Structure 1
Amino acid sequence: MSIGIGEGLALGSAAAWAVGVILARQLGATLPPLALNLMKNGLVLALLAPVVLFLHAGQWPQMPARDIALVLASGVLGIAIADTLYFRALNELGAGRMGVIGNLYSPLVLVMGFLWLDERLGARQWLGFGLVGLGVLLVSRPPSEWRTQPAHTLRGVLIGMGAIALMAIAIVMVKRILEEQPLLWITLLRLAGAVGGLLLIAAWPAMRRHRAFDARQVPWRRLILAALIGQGLSMVFWLGGYKYTSASVAAILNESASVFLVILAALWLREPLGRRGVVGVLLTFSGIACMLLGRATP
């Protein structure tokens, strides 16, 4: 079994995202979705910008204006809007329901990759896709454990589905640009678009109550670690996965984030894994092995 840099980065992104979720699990109680999204991305942008400028000696990459606009738009759609909607849906539905809704991501990327990028999966990739999807469903909180019924379940489901769809569109629209341009530059541009979009949204008077918070109640150390690992490192790895392998394969491997989250919760937070979780973990990693045994050709 061989693993390419793209597959490795896609799996690394899933693991980093899971670590970020563990670190940030209490942030939603003190920060509204818009403020949390803006602060995380603003912090990563402030730290990443001087690093990228230093590594590239301040030289701007040779990119057509159309590509720059697409990358900026991808940041607005996939981070500023999609992540804010995701956090909103997470608050309304809880992690269990959002875990299930998140399973829409890889099928959407597969369909878009087929239609717009001419990507195809081989038999082993399809088997891997099925195993990963089944494993993720098993480790997601089962319906019997959804003891509360949110007042706006339908609204939350629609918001969550919209967030996942925007994430899929945002990455597919920059896939070809990623293949041709330096990874860190694209990450920086995408973050700039995201922060710019978030500032515009935050400036809208109707969003005032969605950005208000008490700074004394914010766990700042946790926020910084969550931003650096769950947002910064995860995003670089995530985009790198799409740069160096097909969008379809990267999207399926990204689904393993739910499984990494369950494993970390068991090891770090001492949460019980249970038989269902163990089977889900085994199925997911079996699916990942299938993906790596027969890599698709974009």
Structure 2
Amino acid sequence: MSIGIGEALALGSAAAWAVGVILARQLGATLPPLALNLMKNGLILALLAPVVLFLHAGQWPQMPMRDVALVLASGVLGIAVADTLYFRALNELGAGRMGVIGNLYSPLVLLMGFLWLDERLGARQWLGFGLVGLGVLLVTRPPREWRTHPAHTLRGVLIGMSAIALMAIAIVMVKRILEEQPLLWVTVLRLAGAVAGLLLIAALPGLRRHRAFDPGKVPWHRLILAAVIGQGLSMVLWLGGYKYTSASVAAILNESASVFLVILAAVWLREPLGRRGAVGVLLTFSGIACMLLGRATP
């Protein structure tokens, strides 16, 4: 069994995201979601842009304006709009239901990859997809006492599905650009689109309470560390996964983030894994092995 650079980056992204979630666990108590999202993406953009300019000697890549526009739009749709809708759905549905809706991501990328990118999965990849999906479903299904009873379930489901669909569309639309252009430049442009979109959303009337916070109560060291690992490193690895392997394979391997989160919570925070969680972890890693045993047809 061998692992290519694309598969390694996709798995690394999932692990980095999980570490970021653990680090950011207490930030929600001091920062509203819109402010947290804007600050994380703005911080990474401010850190990464000078690095990219230095590495490329200040030279702009040979990227057509159409590609630049697509990458910027991907940031607006996939981060600014999608994340805003995601947090809105999370508030209406609760973490349990939203976790289940989040499992729509990889099937949507598979469908779009089939229709728009002419990607095909082999038998082992389909088996891996099923095992990963089942494993993630097991570890993200919350205990009964965590479940919520929202008043607007249908509206929340539609908002949540829209968020996941936008995330899938936003990555598939830049897949070919990622293959042809420097990874870090695409990352910076996508972040620029995201920050611009988030600033526009934050400026909308009626959203003041969603961006107001007390700076004195924010654990800034934790915010910076969570942003660097869970947002910056994770995003570079995530886009790298889509650059070096098929969108379908990358999306399926990205689903392992929930499993990495459960493992880290058990090891780091001493949270009980439980029999269901252990089975979910085993199924997910079995699915990953199946994905690596056979490569998707480009």
TM above 0.5: yes
Paired position in structure 1 for 2:11 = 11
Q: Is contact 1:129–1:287 with CA below 8 Å preserved after alignment? A: yes
State the match for 1:220 in structure 2: 220
Identity %: 92
Which shows bigger deviation, 133-142 or 39-48? Answer: 133-142
* Backbone CA RMSD of aligned residues: 1.2
Name the CA distance, whole Å, in 1 between partners of 2:220 and 2:90: 21
- Taking the aligned partners of 1:278 and 1:201, their CA distance within structure 2 comes to 40
May I ask how many residue pairs the two structures share in their alignment? 298
- Tell whether the 8 Å contact from 2:136 to 2:280 is kept in structure 1 after alignment: yes
Q: Distance in 2 between matches of 1:45 and 1:197?
A: 13
Unaligned runs of 5+ in 2: none
Per-residue displacement from partner, 1:203-252 (whole Å, max 9, x unpaired)? 22232222111222222122111111110000000000000000000000
State the distance in 1 between where 2:42 and 2:58 align.
20
Alpha carbons 1:42, 1:195 under 8 Å: kept: yes
Q: How much has 1:94 moved relative to structure 2?
A: 3.0
Distance in 1 (CA, whole Å) between partners of 2:39 and 2:89 is 19
Deviates more, 1:69-78 or 1:97-106: 97-106
Measure, in 2, the Cα distance between the counterparts of 1:28 and 1:78.
21
2:24 is the counterpart of 1:21:
no
Secondary structure of the 2:243 match is helix
Whether the 8 Å CA contact 2:11–2:256 is kept in 1: the answer is yes
> How far did 1:147 drift?
4.0
1:200 deviation in Å? 1.3
SS where residue 205 of structure 1 aligns?
A: coil
The answer to whether structure 1 residue 252 and structure 2 residue 252 are counterparts is yes
Please give the TM-score of this superposition, normalised by the length of structure 1: 0.97
* Cα distance in structure 1, aligned partners of 2:287 and 2:172: 23
| Aligned-pair CA distance for 1:143 | 6.2
When residues 258 and 148 of structure 1 are mapped into structure 2, their CA distance, relative to the original with a 3 A threshold, is same
Q: Distance in 2 between matches of 1:90 and 1:19?
A: 20
TM-score normalized by the length of structure 2 = 0.97
- Between stretches 21-30 and 228-237, larger displacement belongs to 21-30
Cα deviation for residue 184 of structure 1 reads 0.2
Between 1:153-162 and 1:210-219, the stretch displaced more is: 153-162
In the TM superposition, what is the alpha-carbon distance from 1:156 to its structure 2 partner? 2.5
Q: Distance in 2 between matches of 1:217 and 1:94?
A: 25
Contact 1:77 / 1:166 at 8 angstroms: preserved in 2? Answer: yes
Structure 2 residue 250 is the aligned partner of structure 1 residue 268: no
- Secondary structure of the residue that 2:208 maps to in structure 1? helix
Per the alignment, residue 182 of structure 1 pairs with 182
Maintained 8 Å contact 1:33/1:88:
no
> What is the alpha-carbon distance in structure 2 between the residues aligned to residue 48 and residue 245 of structure 1?
24
Q: Contact 2:94–2:147 at 8 Å: present in 1 too?
A: no
Cα distance per residue 1:240-289 (max 9 Å; x no partner) = 00000000000000000000000000001100001101110000000000
Q: Please give the per-residue CA displacement for 1:80-117, whole angstroms capped at 9, x wherever unaligned.
A: 11112222323333332222111000000000000000
**Structure 1 residues 115-146: Cα deviation after superposition (integer angstroms, max 9, x where no partner):** 00000000000000000000001111346344
**Any conservation in 2 of the 1:44–1:228 contact (CA below 8 Å)?**
yes
Partner SS state of residue 72, structure 1: helix
Shift of 1:71: 0.2
Distance 2:181 2:146 in 1: 44
- The structural deviation recorded for 1:51 is 0.4
Asked whether the equivalents of residues 96 and 147 of structure 2 are also in contact (C-alpha less than 8 Å), the reply is: no
2:280 paired residue number? 280
In the other structure, the counterpart of 1:294 is 294
Matched, 1:2 2:35: no
Give SS of 1:37's match: helix
Q: Kindly state the Cα deviation for residue 25 of structure 1 after the two structures are TM-superposed.
A: 1.6
Residues 94 and 148 in structure 2, CA contact (< 8 A), matched pair in contact too: no
- Which stretch has the larger CA shift, 205-214 or 222-231? 205-214
Q: Does the CA contact (< 8 Å) of 2:93 and 2:148 recur in 1?
A: no
Distance 1:91 1:41 in 2: 21
